[in-house]
């Protein structure tokens, strides 16, 4: 009996064959596309060397979706796309349409169902984000709620093309930085401001002390003897509240309702177009958690976006715009205070100083 | 019946124009009652401003050391529906292409056996089914497997590789991202399912330097499409673009190496000085195309900040002839990957990403270890300090 059960199990079948999911027009023109055109912020067309056309309608998604959402998009795909659809690397949904006549009816159907069409061109695309309070134990804030609040406020920029270039916003609920916050135009990152609390009793039973010590980026954790038994101590002078020790040791919780919140980062990008890929840099060290709408975060993002829209040249990403006008001017026009926290003091921090007399006075 | 909870704070997030995740959780709860308790606990987090999940947690299926993330509620008595609330990672179809038949069946599975909630997709690229108990894991795994889908990576293993849509729907693609992504995922299923590394390792494949899967920031080994020969110019289309906007100002003047100019009406490109950044091709897609000698660059070592600071992928191989290698079942790249993993296995320490290892031992040691020669493309500029470690074979 047991042997029979074992035999029936399917394992190591690997990735599914994607060819099964490619529509005929994609199969016929695979690797033979000539050019594409953006028709509006929700629609583009790819034209193949053969002259075949493939229309794409892009729709916003909250990423965390129900089975009912999945069935909704399946119904649309069946009605207009022969059942074919895909998701983007920013978690939008794309309907792949062969017949141009289906484009407008499909969009009308989506709008009737309350879905958002947009996200192509010089827009604010979907916000790449993480688990937050919905599913993660190390989160310093909630992902879905902040994203919803920001996208409600920036909705016009998802559905209308009116920015100098594309703006990528990303969110991570702690500085594990799952996703792409380290290299986004605007990034929102969950942040702690207090050291971990050590539960000596549980630590002895639950944690491997050497790996807990090794997890600290500032070497702030040292072995210690507590009540004659092995434990750790934290040098609170040098602890930077990263939460890495909690990740490896459950007895060092760091979440703190009053002192957790979010930091805002700007100017990162991953594309190589014009300038090299670059990290996002600190704009605002801390904004308190303020659920359910996080007005402080929403306002900060809006301020950056407004100044960028006013000041950037066509085609300039946020980081390129700041490089051109300089960081002092960025802080001046956004009104964000420049503080000691903006000066890098980790490892190669000194390489980020201004070794010149260059200043825009 | 799942108990209904009052959710005044979350209810605020049902307002507004952007699609609401709260509505999605509610819709899931209509089909999978346990998810009412997820709403209750998230509401409590909104009130308390901290998460209410217990630390860590193991969950999994027989034979695999990866593929599930265990999660337990801090208040199992108050929220019994999410006492166990594990998630399962599923390897996506390359390029995230699907059909409605598969997606509907997956929705059914998530409602029958889990909380009726899915993530399309996790940041690494997995489909995630949220909210199942350990007792249900095997059923979900087998139901998914019957649809022809396998579990993805987690822990110290090869994580699920992902790629851009590539040649399926992009004229910029310089190689078949979906084909190599699928091939290498199949090749390394054991490394993916059974964690045997010092730490996680990720592959990502982008068809051009626009890097639509952000491989340079989000994968230990990034493949970014490029070409070796001349950009193809359609002078008639260039003229059409000139009628529409200021090509000199917004294309030529923005070229990072200033290797483009007009001679009379004709656009000229000094291809030897072009760094394949994609800007001109992005701006003039009807007029400019990559050359015919196509392949990709390989960058290594990207990671998030913990523990030694964030890293972008750094240039390791400027041009990998992926089309040629594909004819030999990707033998060359597989041998390079195997050398890397051996070196990492030998010299890396626990929870040390390969980028951190390279930072610690130095790029020279790493190159020697994996059998690549140092070349100038690897550096922004040569060293500016004189602390050189001459080796014995250089003496005499």
A248 within some domain: no
Are the beta carbons of B211 and A14 separated by less than 8 Å? no
CB B307 within 8 A of CB B224: no
Q: Which residues, in sequence order, are bridge partners of residue B289?
A: B232
CB A199 within 8 A of CB A246: no
Report B:269-328 residues touching A (Cβ under 8 A).
275-279, 282-283, 285-286, 304-310, 312
Q: Are residues A261 and A139 in the same domain?
A: yes
Query: CB neighbours (10 Å) of residue A334?
Result: 18
Rounded to an integer, the average pLDDT of B110-131 is 97
Are the beta carbons of A64 and B305 separated by less than 8 Å? no
Judged by DSSP in three states, B252 sits in: helix
Judged by DSSP in three states, A187 sits in: strand
Cα dist. A252→A212, A233, A352, B58 in Å?
10, 10, 32, 19
Asked whether this chain's domains B158-227+295-394 and B232-289 adopt the same fold, the reply is no
Q: Are residues A52 and A91 in the same domain?
A: yes
Residue B391's pLDDT band, with cuts at 50, 70 and 90, is confident
Are the beta carbons of B71 and A250 separated by less than 8 Å? no
pLDDT tens sequence across B122-181 = 999 999 999 999 999 999 999 999 999 999 999 999 999 999 999 999 999 999 999 999
A87 within some domain: yes
Q: Are residues A48 and A99 in the same domain?
A: yes
A285 within some domain: yes
Are the beta carbons of A15 and B91 separated by less than 8 Å? yes
DSSP state, residue B248: I
Q: Which of A214, A240, A266 is the last residue of a domain?
A: A240
In angstroms, the CA A84 to CA A74 distance is 8
Query: CB neighbours (10 Å) of residue B200?
Result: 20
In angstroms, the CA B232 to CA B336 distance is 32
In angstroms, the CA B260 to CA A159 distance is 34
CA geometry: angle at B284 spanning B282 and B290, to 5°? 65
Q: Are strands B203-206 and B162-163 parallel, antiparallel or unpaired?
A: parallel
ipTM metric:
0.96
Nearest-CA distance B257 → chain A (Å)? 9
A11 within some domain: no
Q: Given the structure tokens 């195997």, which residue do they identify? A: B338
Are the beta carbons of A46 and B170 separated by less than 8 Å? yes
Query: CB neighbours (10 Å) of residue B396?
Result: 4
Nearest-CA distance A215 → chain B (Å)? 7
Range of the domain at A155: 124-193+257-345
Q: Are residues A176 and A279 in the same domain?
A: yes
Q: Are residues A87 and A151 in the same domain?
A: no
CA dihedral B225, B231, B233, B239 (to 10 degrees): 80
Q: Are residues A136 and A177 in the same domain?
A: yes
Query: CB neighbours (10 Å) of residue A235?
Result: 13
CB A242 within 8 A of CB A138: no
A339 within some domain: yes
In angstroms, the CA B29 to CA A326 distance is 50
**pLDDT of the residue at A1:** 47
Q: Is the pLDDT of residue B1 over 60?
A: no
A353 at B interface, C-beta within 8 A? no
In angstroms, the CA B393 to CA B396 distance is 8
Fold topology of B158-227+295-394: Sulfite Reductase Hemoprotein; domain 1 (3.30.413)
Are the beta carbons of A18 and B182 separated by less than 8 Å? yes
Query: CB neighbours (10 Å) of residue A281?
Result: 17
Q: Are residues A179 and A264 in the same domain?
A: yes
- Say which CATH number the domain at A187 has: 3.30.413.10
Q: Is the dihedral of CA A285, A289, A295, A301 positive or negative?
A: positive
Of A13, A16, A96, the CB nearest to B93: A16
Q: Are residues A106 and A167 in the same domain?
A: no
Q: Which residues, in sequence order, are bridge partners of residue A124?
A: A167
Q: Are residues A99 and A173 in the same domain?
A: no
Tens place of pLDDT per residue across chain A (361 aa): 455 555 689 999 999 999 999 999 999 999 999 999 999 999 999 999 999 999 999 999 999 999 999 999 999 999 999 999 999 999 999 999 999 999 999 999 999 999 999 999 999 999 999 999 999 999 999 999 999 999 999 999 999 999 999 999 999 999 999 999 999 999 999 999 999 999 999 999 999 999 999 999 999 999 999 899 999 999 999 999 999 999 999 999 999 999 999 999 999 999 999 999 999 999 999 999 999 999 999 999 999 999 999 999 999 999 999 999 999 999 999 999 999 999 999 999 999 999 999 999 8
How long is chain A? 361
Q: Is the pLDDT of residue B94 over 60?
A: yes
Q: Which of A82, A113, A144 is the last residue of a domain?
A: A113
Nearest-CA distance B263 → chain A (Å)? 22
CB A131 within 8 A of CB A64: no
In angstroms, the CA A34 to CA A280 distance is 34
Domain coordinates in residue numbering, chain B: 20-147, 158-227+295-394, 232-289
Domain count of the fold of chain A: 3
Q: Does domain B232-289 have CATH number 3.30.70.20?
A: yes
In angstroms, the CA B105 to CA A22 distance is 18
Nearest partner of B336 among B349, B320, B352, judged by Cα: B320
A7 within some domain: no
Structure token pair of residue B179: 């084909």
- Best probe of the A interface among B93, B210, B322, by most A CBs < 10 A, is B93
A108 within some domain: yes
pLDDT tens sequence across B301-334 = 999 999 999 999 999 999 999 999 999 999 999 9
Q: Is the pLDDT of residue B13 over 60?
A: yes
Nearest partner of B25 among A64, A60, A171, judged by Cα: A64
Q: Are residues A298 and A164 in the same domain?
A: yes
Q: Are residues A129 and A264 in the same domain?
A: yes
Fold topology of B20-147: Alpha-Beta Plaits (3.30.70)
How long is chain B? 396
Count H helices, E strands: chain A? 12, 12
A103 at B interface, C-beta within 8 A? no
Non-local CB neighbours of A230 within 8 Å, separated by 6+ positions: A204, A209, A223, A224
- Say which CATH number the domain at A49 has: 3.30.70.3340
**pLDDT of the residue at A3:** 57
Are the beta carbons of A273 and B209 separated by less than 8 Å? yes
Question: Cis (ω within 30 of 0) for the bond into B307?
Answer: yes
**pLDDT of the residue at A7:** 61
Q: Are residues A30 and A157 in the same domain?
A: no
Q: Is the pLDDT of residue B396 over 60?
A: no
In angstroms, the CA B296 to CA B321 distance is 7
Q: Which residues, in sequence order, are bridge partners of residue A187?
A: A170, A265
In angstroms, the CA B200 to CA B354 distance is 9
Are the beta carbons of A177 and B305 separated by less than 8 Å? yes
């Amino acid at each position: 009996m047991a042997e029979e059960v074992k035999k029936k199990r399917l394992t190591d079948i690997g990735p599914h064959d994607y060819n099964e999911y490619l529509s005929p027009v994609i199969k016929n023109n695979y690797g033979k596309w000539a050019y594409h055109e953006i028709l509006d912020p929700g629609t583009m067309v790819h034209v193949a060397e053969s002259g075949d056309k493939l229309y794409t309608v892009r729709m916003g998604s909250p990423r965390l979706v129900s089975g009912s959402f999945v069935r909704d998009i399946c119904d649309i795909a069946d009605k207009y796309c022969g059942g074919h659809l895909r998701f983007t690397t920013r978690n939008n949904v794309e309907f792949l349409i062969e017949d141009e006549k289906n484009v407008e009816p499909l969009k009308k159907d989506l709008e009737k169902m309350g879905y958002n069409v947009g996200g192509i061109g010089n827009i604010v695309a979907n916000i790449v984000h993480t688990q937050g309070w919905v599913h993660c134990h190390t989160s310093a804030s909630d992902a879905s709620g902040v994203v919803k609040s920001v996208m409600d406020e920036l909705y016009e920029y998802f559905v209308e093309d009116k920015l100098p270039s594309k703006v990528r916003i990303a969110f991570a609920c702690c500085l594990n930085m799952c996703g792409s916050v380290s290299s986004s135009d605007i990034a929102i990152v969950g942040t702690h401001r207090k050291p971990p609390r050590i539960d000596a009793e549980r630590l002895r039973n639950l944690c491997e002390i050497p790996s807990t010590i090794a997890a600290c980026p500032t070497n702030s954790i040292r072995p210690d003897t507590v009540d004659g038994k092995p434990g750790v101590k934290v040098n609170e002078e040098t602890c930077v509240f990263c939460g890495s020790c909690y990740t490896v040791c459950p007895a060092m919780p760091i979440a703190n309702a009053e002192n957790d919140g979010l930091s805002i980062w700007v100017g990162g990008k991953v594309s190589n177009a014009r300038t090299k890929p670059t990290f996002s840099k600190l704009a605002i060290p801390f904004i308190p958690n303020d659920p359910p709408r996080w007005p402080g975060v929403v306002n900060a993002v809006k301020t950056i976006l407004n100044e960028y829209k006013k000041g950037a040249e066509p085609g300039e990403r946020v980081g390129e715009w700041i490089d051109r006008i300089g960081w002092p001017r960025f802080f001046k026009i956004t009104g964000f205070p420049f503080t000691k926290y903006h000066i890098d003091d980790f490892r190669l921090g000194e390489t980020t100083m201004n070794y010149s007399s260059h200043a825009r006075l | 019946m799942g108990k209904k909870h009052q959710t005044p704070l979350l209810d605020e997030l049902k307002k507004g124009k952007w699609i609401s995740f709260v509505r999605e959780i509610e819709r899931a709860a209509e089909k999978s009652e346990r998810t009412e308790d997820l709403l209750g606990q998230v509401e409590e987090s909104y009130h308390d401003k901290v998460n209410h999940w217990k630390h860590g947690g193991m969950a999994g299926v027989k034979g695999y050391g990866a593929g599930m993330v265990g999660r337990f509620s801090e208040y199992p008595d108050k929220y019994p529906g999410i006492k166990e609330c594990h998630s399962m990672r599923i390897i996506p179809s390359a390029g995230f292409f699907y059909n409605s038949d598969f997606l509907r069946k997956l929705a059914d599975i998530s409602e029958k056996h889990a909380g009726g909630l899915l993530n399309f997709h996790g940041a690494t690229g997995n489909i995630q089914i949220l909210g199942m108990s350990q007792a249900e894991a095997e059923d979900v795994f087998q139901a998914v497997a019957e649809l022809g889908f396998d579990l993805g990576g987690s822990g110290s293993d090869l994580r699920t590789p992902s790629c851009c849509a590539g040649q399926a729907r992009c004229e910029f693609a310089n190689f078949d991202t979906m084909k190599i992504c699928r091939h290498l995922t199949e090749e390394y299923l054991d490394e993916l399912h059974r964690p045997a590394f010092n730490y996680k390792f990720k592959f990502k494949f982008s068809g051009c330097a626009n890097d639509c899967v952000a491989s340079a920031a989000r994968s230990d080994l990034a493949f970014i499409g490029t070409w070796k020969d001349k950009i193809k110019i359609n002078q008639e289309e260039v003229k059409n673009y000139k009628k529409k906007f200021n090509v000199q100002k917004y294309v030529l003047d923005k070229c990072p190496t200033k290797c483009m100019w007009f001679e009379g009406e004709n656009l000229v490109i000094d291809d030897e000085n072009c760094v394949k950044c994609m800007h001109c091709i992005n701006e003039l897609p009807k007029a400019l195309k990559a050359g015919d000698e196509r392949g990709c660059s390989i960058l290594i070592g990207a990671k998030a900040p913990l523990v030694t600071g964030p890293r972008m992928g750094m240039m390791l191989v400027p041009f990998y002839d992926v089309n040629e290698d594909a004819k030999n079942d990707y033998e060359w790249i597989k041998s390079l990957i195997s050398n890397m993993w051996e070196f990492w296995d030998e010299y890396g320490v626990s929870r040390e990403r390969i980028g951190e290892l390279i930072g610690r031992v130095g790029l020279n040691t790493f190159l020697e270890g994996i059998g690549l020669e140092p070349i100038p493309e690897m550096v922004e500029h040569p060293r500016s300090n004189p602390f050189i470690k001459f080796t014995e074979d250089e003496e005499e």
